[in-house]
Amino acid sequence: MEQPAADLLAIEVCYALPERQDVAHLRLPPGATLGEALTASGLLVKYPEISRDKNKFGIYGKLVKTDAVLRDRDRVEIYRPLTADPKELRRLRAAAGKALKRGAGKG
């Protein structure tokens, strides 16, 4: 027997790509886990680069494991690996800014 829609959880599963975001809107039974939402979203099939072992997942920006139980209106987020170290990028930007300031008085 199918569960009435009023008893189902409204869940979003989001995967952000550099150029756009893909969002799957789901209705899942109470007690559903993040892993079940990932499977139901179809995003694991659509984006084969997503790996349950390598990617990290969260709910509203907080890292959680795939066995986390979802609540109504949760937003499941699939995080991509970083392509550059944020600390290193900040250091490079700071160094470039200092170089610009030193050369600003010439002319």
Pairwise CA distance, residues 5 & 106, whole Å: 70
Pairwise CA distance, residues 22 & 12, whole Å: 10
Pairwise CA distance, residues 56 & 22, whole Å: 16
**What's the pLDDT score for residue 81?**
80
pTM above 0.75, yes or no: no
| 6/74: higher pLDDT | 74
Number of domains forming the structure of the chain: 1
CATH code, domain carrying 58: 3.10.20.90
Strand 56-59 to strand 75-79: parallel, antiparallel, or no bridges (unpaired)? antiparallel
Strands (DSSP E) found in the chain? 9-16, 21-28, 56-59, 62-64, 75-79
Residue 4 has pLDDT above 80, yes or no: no
**What's the pLDDT score for residue 98?**
72
- What is the number of helices (H) and of strands (E) in the chain? 3, 5
pLDDT digits 0-9 by tens, 48-104: 999 999 999 999 999 999 999 999 999 999 998 877 677 877 888 888 877 666 665
**What range defines the domain where residue 59 resides?**
5-103
pLDDT, average across residues 25-50: 97
| 86/21: higher pLDDT | 21
**What's the pLDDT score for residue 105?**
55
Compute CA 93 distance to the chain's CA centroid, rounded to the nearest angstrom: 26
**What's the pLDDT score for residue 23?**
97
